[in-house]
Amino acid sequence: MKKVLVTPRSLTSASHPALDLLRGAGCQVIFSTPGKQPDEEELIGLLPGCEGYLAGVERVSAGVLEAAKGLQVISRNGTGIDNIDMNAANRLNIQVCRAEGANARGVAELTLGLILALVRSIPFSDSQLKNKRWERRKGIELENQTLGLIGCGEIGKRTALLATGMGMKVFAFRRYPDHSFSPPNFSYVSLEDLYRQSDIISLHCPSLESGKALINKEAIAKMKNGAYLVNTARASLLDLAAVLEALESGRLAGAAVDVFDQEPPTDYRLVKNSRVIATPHIGGYTSQSIDRATTQAVENIINVLHLQRTERKGRT
């Protein structure tokens, strides 16, 4: 039987019916530690002998891939693949597949939820009232506010539609704009203009190839005083020290984060800041997103392994 390793925490803590498609295709499904993101040591221990790998957001290094003798396909249950050493994957002829757009709706809705929670101080108000303290913070309404999206793929587009539906004006920066996407009150702008004009900035892009932070001291200095920042994309996009400094000074009115360098995090400075709303990587953690992403990831594995079996038979 072909072995397939499954590591996403949403699938190791509670299995999914789509995994039966793998078993039905003649695969043995094995899991990493339930509910825990596997580290390099665990992956090196589990992957050798596996032909398929249904991967989450854990780092997949060159060392892991070199140890994974027999691995033919890595299938992500999401869109991002910047956690995978693609140079090594290409060198070792390991195909990498993505579940395009599967979790886009879930992440977009969380983004809007975080924006609302920020501008209306919802977590603060709830916490105060639970502690029998009647304390209010004045908020702002989203109508006529400007939302700046850095990255405008499937998640960014869905976020834009939700935001314009609430009366917001949306600017987006994308390296290669899709001009077929042009809803009312939406336009592509330069990154400089986005920083300068946005009341709220939301990140929907992969990590930079350089590995450097996108939102650093220089970027924050270009933003409106009192802007809000939302990151549901990649933790590496934020310069932690610069964001904390801007929050303390009031340069940033607030921030919301759903992603961390290590999950669970080991550095809680951002989480504990009173101007920050933090969630434990729940953007795509909805029943619908998990269903779509798991099914697509499983089908990608089956298709790749089936094609390769056919090719081998054709050469004999």
234 is catalytic: yes
Active site residue 281: yes
HSE, side-chain direction, 13 A CA sphere, residue 1: 12
Which residues lie below 8 Å from residue 96, measured CB to CB, with a gap of 6+?
A: 73, 74, 75, 76, 81, 84, 86, 89
The active-site residue out of 16, 98, 234, 251 is 234
Q: Ramachandran region of residue 155, left (φ > 0), alpha (ψ -120 to 50) or beta?
A: alpha
Give Cα separations from 228 to 115, 166, 256 (angstroms): 8, 17, 8
Provide the residue count of the chain. 316
**Of the residues 40, 66, 100, 263, which is catalytic?**
263
**Angle, in degrees to the nearest 10, between helices 104-119 and 154-165:** 50
Q: Measure the CA dihedral 72/10/155/259, to 10°.
A: -100
> Is 204 one of the catalytic residues?
no
| Residues known to be catalytic | 234, 263, 281
